[in-house]
Amino acid sequence: MLKKEVAVQLMRHLVEHDWHGYSQVSRWGDGEGTCDISIGGKVYKLEQGDRDCSSAVISAYQAAGINCGGATYTGNMRKCMTGTGNFKWHPMSSGFTAQAGDVYLNEADHTAMCLSAVPDMLMQFSISETGGIDGAEGDQTGEESNIRSYYNYPWDGILECVNKESVGSSASVVAKPKVSSKVEMREQTGGDNQRFYIEDAGNGCVRLRNKSLGLYLDIPNGNAKNDSVLQLYKKNSTDAQLWRVVYKVHGLAQYALLEPKLAPRKYVSVEGNGINGKTKVKLWDDLKNSKQKFWIKQADDGAYVFVHTYSLKAITAV
């Protein structure tokens, strides 16, 4: 049996089992255990809980033993997955016909996995029971995830799985959700990896949750000193994830400083004013200059993009 065929069956489990609903908040599962799926005499493990369109496809392939190259959302699936050599990109204009396991992709918004070419069917995670991005765990309506006939989303192209490996003798592979990620300043793309939800944490503090990964802006180990490089990390109850948004006005322009609760009068600072590519995001004392100034732009989904006022780059999950 090919690993690609295993991925198809794992994806089918995700869309058919009512333990798995749609969520962008807990999109890698609930972290409380695994579903054990027997395929061809072997047991494969998938995290219990919800998915969204991209995390479902990625989870199925990773659990089947096919590397997706660190892909986390629709905006980096093409680059990451083709970079492994396990997938080949076909623009829709090429006329390529998807086979079971191949991935339909709209790089801005949506993805689905082909279940079969004849009849032409696909599998996808669509929307929560609330009509939004999150709801109760599990499929409350029977349609949060679904199998349906092919439709044109529209798709940008198809990721063909060209991996021909057969299932080996190893027992199983667990697709684990990411618990941490780097953040850097990158050119603005409008992608989910640059969008953050601002969550009220009380006492004038907020948490900043990245839309793509569901992880939070975090000071590693709570070490809030000058030159500490920030990260994204899974939600915890420590002050390392608590921030104050301090608004300032210069002339007619308003900007914001991001101040950690752990270190008053230190602020999020952009290394080298963001001139170079892949610039680090750090903490530093109040510099009273543009390195620490951000515009907070509201996106169309209730999330926000933190744009550096000098370089015009955005805080980005990488």
Query: Does the pLDDT value for residue 33 go beyond 60?
Result: yes
pLDDT number for residue 180: 86
Query: Does the pLDDT value for residue 68 go beyond 70?
Result: yes
pLDDT band at residue 278 under the 50/70/90 scheme: confident
Burial category of 119 from C-beta neighbours within 10 Å (exposed 0-12, middle 13-18, buried 19 and up): exposed
pLDDT number for residue 249: 86
What's the pTM value of the predicted model, to 2 decimals?
A: 0.59
Query: Does the pLDDT value for residue 117 go beyond 50?
Result: yes
pLDDT tens profile 99-109: 999 999 999 99
Query: Are β-strands 216-218 and 231-233 bridged in parallel, bridged antiparallel, or unpaired?
Result: antiparallel
Query: Does the pLDDT value for residue 295 go beyond 80?
Result: yes
pLDDT number for residue 43: 93
Look up residue 1 and give its two tokens. 């049996």
Nearest to 266 by CA among 301, 216, 222, 212: 222
Average pLDDT over residues 32-52: 91
Query: Does the pLDDT value for residue 251 go beyond 90?
Result: no
- Give the integer Cα–Cα distance in Å for 183 and 241: 14
Average pLDDT over residues 18-34: 87
- Give the integer Cα–Cα distance in Å for 134 and 21: 9
pLDDT number for residue 77: 96
Query: Are β-strands 42-47 and 174-175 bridged in parallel, bridged antiparallel, or unpaired?
Result: parallel
pLDDT tens profile 141-188: 999 999 999 999 999 999 999 999 998 744 445 555 678 888 999 999
- Give the integer Cα–Cα distance in Å for 123 and 7: 12
Nearest to 257 by CA among 292, 282, 230, 231: 292
- Give the integer Cα–Cα distance in Å for 52 and 238: 27
Look up residue 160 and give its two tokens. 């063909």
Structural domains in the chain plus CATH codes = 3-175 (3.90.1720), 180-317 (2.80.10.50)
Residue with tokens 């044109």: 152
- Give the integer Cα–Cα distance in Å for 178 and 215: 8
Average pLDDT, the chain: 92
Residue 220 near residue 236 (C-beta atoms within 8 A): no
- Give the integer Cα–Cα distance in Å for 158 and 155: 8
pLDDT tens profile 196-225: 999 999 999 999 999 988 999 999 989 999
Average pLDDT over residues 92-103: 97
